[in-house]
Structure formats: C-alpha cells, structure tokens
Chains A and B, each alone.
Chain A
Amino acid sequence: MTRLWGIVLNWIAVGLAEDIPVGTVVPRRVDGLDLAIWRSGLGRFHAWDDRCPHRGMRLSHGFVRGEVLACVYHGWQYNLDGACDYIPAHPDLTPPKTICANTYVCETRNQALWVALGTVNGDVPDIGDRIPIRSLDISCGAPAIARYFDHPQDPLIVLRGKYDLAIALQPSTSRSCFAHVFAGAGQDKKIVSRYVEKLRDELEAA
C-alpha cells in the first residue's frame, strides 16, 4: 500500500509489459521501496524486494536463468515462489525454506504491469483496448498530478480526449512519478509521445 494518496491503493503500475523482455530483470521504485521486476523464460512477471536476503545485493543486478532469478553476487538462485533453491558455494545443500526473497503479487492486464504491495483487494485496473505508448519520469507527486487533471486519486488516471489517454502512475518518491501512458487503439505512438512530453512540461511548471 502506498501512503502518498491518502487512501489505500491496491494496485500500482510498474511498467509496460513490452519494456521488460523475457529473461530480463529491471529495478523499479514505488514510494521509496526498491523492487526488482523480472520476467521468466516462460514469460511470467514477478515483483520482489530488490534485495538478496544473503548480503543485501540488489536482485535487479542479477540474471534470469529460465524460471529462476540468480543474484549476481554469489549466484544464489531463487525460484518462482521467491524461495532460494540453490547456493553455489554449497552445491549439495538443500537451502532452508527460511531463505526467501520478499515477493509481491504482480499481474499484467492489457499490456500494463501492476503490483499489489499490500493485501490484494479489487480487480487489476482496466485500461481497455488502449495501446501502450511509453513510460516517462515526471518530477511531480502523484496527488499533484491527479489534482492538475481534476481527477480522483486513482491508480489509473483516465483523461480520454483527442488521444483517449490513460496514465497509470507509479509514485517513485513523494515528489516524482513514473508515468505509464496508454492511448486509444490506432493512435500514432510518436505523435502521442510528443504530446505527453508537452503535458509533462506543463505539469512540472504548474
């Protein structure tokens, strides 16, 4: 749950599915919390604390090997449940079940990637048949952005308009957001992208 909105937020957007190819891991920050988002060889998305339980190394620096995520520091391997199932320094050891990465519920819906930091309650937000445009940083807090558009403080800000825009906000810190932008089917990505950049400049100037 993020505290920034003054309400309980179940789902927080963390990216566009297409930006995280199969077999890769990326860092994402939500409300000051560092997450490692990775996509297994079979294409499933996972959101974990960006911290190996062994020595605190960022798991987003690790590497995906099929259906496991391996920490770059000592090669400890974590399975899809977050449990460590291989420690290279002790190849014959079955790691205790207590060695486990901290995991969160992570879902994709229509090309958007969502994470639930608290208890899941309610459906994954629906962006409809819109297409993903891009993600961009905005130096502006999430509540301020919602206010600017005179929109309720929802995880998904639906603006509609000429491009049928929907913006999923990922509050990175109290003063910045990563905005994941979607537009109506058939819109030109380049044109919408340029429009969104202008929108960002207006927001940051406001």
Chain B
Amino acid sequence: MSDSSKDHWYPVGLLSDIYTPRQTLLFDQEISLTHDDTGFVVKKSGGVSLPTIERFGHLWTSLGQPDHDLFVIPEADTPGRHLVDVGSVKVKCSPLRAVENFLDIAHFPFIHTDILGAEPHTEVDRYKVEIREGVNEVWATKVKFFQPQAAKSAEGGIITEYMYRVPAPTCAVLYKTCPPRPKEWDIITLFVQPLTEEWCEVWPWMALYDDDSTMAEMVSFQQLIFMQDRSILENQIPLKLPLDPGMETPTQADMTSVAYRRWLKRIGYSYGAQMVAA
C-alpha cells in the first residue's frame, strides 16, 4: 500500500488498563500491548517495537513514520472536567464510516430518537465547513440542532450548538453546548482503531462538565448512543466509505461528510475507502 494511511497515530488501548496484556490488530497486522517498568510496550508479531504516545486516556501507536505529533485538545485540559474513558466497541464497518457517522447530525431524530433528536424537528440549517490549511483539519462550525433532552437538568427541548473537528483521519472531536456552563464546550471524541478495512474498534472519550451524573451513568449513556449507531454502521453497503462522488448522494446537511471525504482523498488516505464506484 503506497498511501499515507499508516503514517498516523492510532488508539490501541486504554491507559487505565495497564495490567491487562492485549493482543489486537492494526491495519490487518497483529500487535501486542504489554507494560513493564519503563511503561507501555507495543510490538508487532515479529517482535519489532512500535513508538507510543500516551494521551487522552489512551495509548497510541503507529506502524508507519508519522511526521507529526498526535493532535492536542487544549480545551480538555481546563480544570473541573470529568475525563471519561468509555471503553471500546468493535464494529464491522470501515473506520472511515464510523467517523463519518459521528460527524452527521441529520440522523439524530431517527436513530437517537428522543435523546439527541426527535421528529418533527428534523431540519438541518446551513452551517460552516472548512478545511483549515495550516493545521490540515476538517472543521464544521455553527452547527445547530434541536435536542429533546440536552441534559438531565434541561426541561423540554433546546437548540444545541455543535462544532466538529477531524484532526486525524480516524479521529473526530465534537464540541457541544454545555448546559451548566454556557461559555464552555463539552468535549466528546471518537477515536477509531482500524483493525481491518472493514472492521474497527471505536474508543469514545469525553471531557465533560457534569456534576450530576456518575461516571457509570456517563459511560452507559455514550455506550447506548454508540450501540444505536452500530445498527447503522454494520448495514451500509458497501462497508467501505466511497470517496468518489456518484455512488452516494449528499445534500446540504452532509457538507461535513463531503469535506471529510474530499480531505481523505486529498491527503491520499485509502485504507477503508472505496475508490472506484462498484
């Protein structure tokens, strides 16, 4: 494979899980995670050690030669946030399909009914999408959507504002209106580990201002949301993400997905992508 896919950092495990050795896959290759006196050790099946980064509660590694550090989320460092390791869910779909679904709001009323959306509040207003050249990231801002119950404290529905950021091909960060602190954003991320081109392990992670919910409640909420998404992701045809226009039909509400696909194509990312219309 002559593309750039391997030259990025990928999440492969939780830092909180250090005493459990882990065998897993990355780009179809077996890797092992262990922990010794010096810290985490990630190795390929032949014994070759791989570089590691510890960040956002996860261990990250790379099979290629990343020419960049793993991205940062400065907002997550502000004090008072609960950092939530959600754990992982394996999904039989392309890692890129998982990210694209995370960037989509139009499905909220249909898949996350009465949680993140509800009919008849289905309209998606125009929002702003850009590929930020300096940092080479996809950003969607001024995304607004009706949410039936944005927080436990919220009575009835409110308009919630979102920002989406794609700082790496299989990672997305969601900044979301934070009801208890109107000037801050809650942060919900989706870090995706590519196991194969049609199988991935999804590691959601959150940095929230939420003093009402227990950790277990925050974890189970996010797991519920992702289980609902999985029913979609494992039933899209093809399982890979088509990058060439023509095979699927976007509308204005899909501007983020259109930019994401265009960006993947531009940076030469083909793992999990369907390049030729089937």
Is B235 a contact partner of A61 (Cβ separation < 8 A)? yes
* Chain B residues within an 8 Å CB radius of A61: 231, 235
* Chain A residues within an 8 Å CB radius of B253: 89-90
* Chain B residues within an 8 Å CB radius of A58: 235-237
User: Would you call B238 an interface residue if the criterion is a C-beta within 8 Å of the partner chain's C-beta atoms?
Assistant: yes
Chain A residues 39 to 92 lying within 8 A of chain B, measured CB to CB, are: 50-51, 53-58, 61, 72-75, 87-91
Pick the contact of B251 from A50, A73, A75, A90 — CB < 8 Å?
A90
Chain B residues 11 to 64 lying within 8 A of chain A, measured CB to CB, are: none
Contact with A along B203-245 (1 / 0, CB 8 A): 0000000000000000000000000000110011110001000
Closest B residue by C-beta to A58: B235
The residues of B with any CB-CB pair to A shorter than 8 Å are: 106-107, 109-111, 119, 122-124, 231-232, 235-238, 242, 247-253
Question: Shortest distance in angstroms between A58's beta carbon and chain B's nearest beta carbon?
Answer: 4
User: Which 9 A-B pairs have CB atoms at the shortest separation, nearest pair first?
Assistant: A88-B122, A89-B253, A89-B106, A89-B124, A56-B236, A58-B235, A51-B237, A56-B237, A53-B249
> Can you name 7 A-B pairs with beta carbons within 8 Å?
A51-B237, A57-B232, A72-B111, A90-B123, A90-B251, A90-B252, A90-B253
* Chain A residues within an 8 Å CB radius of B124: 89-90
Is B248 a contact partner of A53 (Cβ separation < 8 A)? yes
Is A89 a contact partner of B248 (Cβ separation < 8 A)? no
- A54–B119 Cα gap in the complex (Å)? 19
* Chain A residues within an 8 Å CB radius of B232: 57, 72-73
User: Would you call A34 an interface residue if the criterion is a C-beta within 8 Å of the partner chain's C-beta atoms?
Assistant: yes
Is B235 a contact partner of A75 (Cβ separation < 8 A)? no
Is A91 a contact partner of B248 (Cβ separation < 8 A)? no
Is A50 a contact partner of B110 (Cβ separation < 8 A)? no
Q: Known contacts A72-B111, A88-B106; is A34 also within 8 Å of B237 by CB?
A: yes
Is B106 a contact partner of A57 (Cβ separation < 8 A)? no
* Chain A residues within an 8 Å CB radius of B238: 56
Chain A residues 89 to 127 lying within 8 A of chain B, measured CB to CB, are: 89-91, 93, 98-99
Closest B residue by C-beta to A54: B249
Question: Shortest distance in angstroms between B163's beta carbon and chain A's nearest beta carbon?
Answer: 19
* Chain A residues within an 8 Å CB radius of B249: 53-54, 98-99
Q: Count A/B pairs, Cβ under 8 Å.
A: 64
Chief secondary structure at chain A's binding surface: loop
Is B106 a contact partner of A50 (Cβ separation < 8 A)? no
Q: Known contacts A53-B248, A54-B249, A90-B251; is A75 also within 8 Å of B109 by CB?
A: yes
Question: Shortest distance in angstroms between A31's beta carbon and chain B's nearest beta carbon?
Answer: 15
Closest A residue by C-beta to B231: A61
Most chain B CB inside 10 Å of its own CB: which residue of A51, A54, A88: A88
* Chain A residues within an 8 Å CB radius of B235: 57-58, 61
- A75–B242 Cα gap in the complex (Å)? 21
Closest A residue by C-beta to B105: A89
Most chain B CB inside 10 Å of its own CB: which residue of A55, A91, A99: A55
* Chain B residues within an 8 Å CB radius of A57: 232, 235-237
Q: Known contacts A56-B236, A72-B110; is A88 also within 8 Å of B119 by CB?
A: yes
* Chain A residues within an 8 Å CB radius of B231: 61
Closest A residue by C-beta to B122: A88
- A99–B254 Cα gap in the complex (Å)? 15
- A55–B238 Cα gap in the complex (Å)? 9
Sample of 18 more A-B contacts, CB < 8 Å, known A51-B237, A56-B237: A34-B237, A53-B249, A54-B248, A54-B250, A54-B251, A55-B248, A56-B238, A56-B242, A57-B235, A57-B236, A58-B236, A73-B107, A73-B110, A74-B110, A75-B110, A75-B119, A89-B122, A93-B251
Pick the contact of B236 from A55, A87, A88, A91 — CB < 8 Å?
A55
- A77–B131 Cα gap in the complex (Å)? 32
Question: Shortest distance in angstroms between B260's beta carbon and chain A's nearest beta carbon?
Answer: 13
* Chain A residues within an 8 Å CB radius of B119: 75, 88
Most chain A CB inside 10 Å of its own CB: which residue of B106, B109, B238: B106
Is A87 a contact partner of B248 (Cβ separation < 8 A)? no
- A34–B252 Cα gap in the complex (Å)? 28
- A74–B242 Cα gap in the complex (Å)? 18
Is A91 a contact partner of B123 (Cβ separation < 8 A)? yes
Q: Known contacts A53-B248, A56-B237; is A91 also within 8 Å of B110 by CB?
A: no
- A99–B251 Cα gap in the complex (Å)? 11
* Chain B residues within an 8 Å CB radius of A73: 107, 110-111, 232
Is A74 a contact partner of B248 (Cβ separation < 8 A)? no
Is B251 a contact partner of A89 (Cβ separation < 8 A)? yes
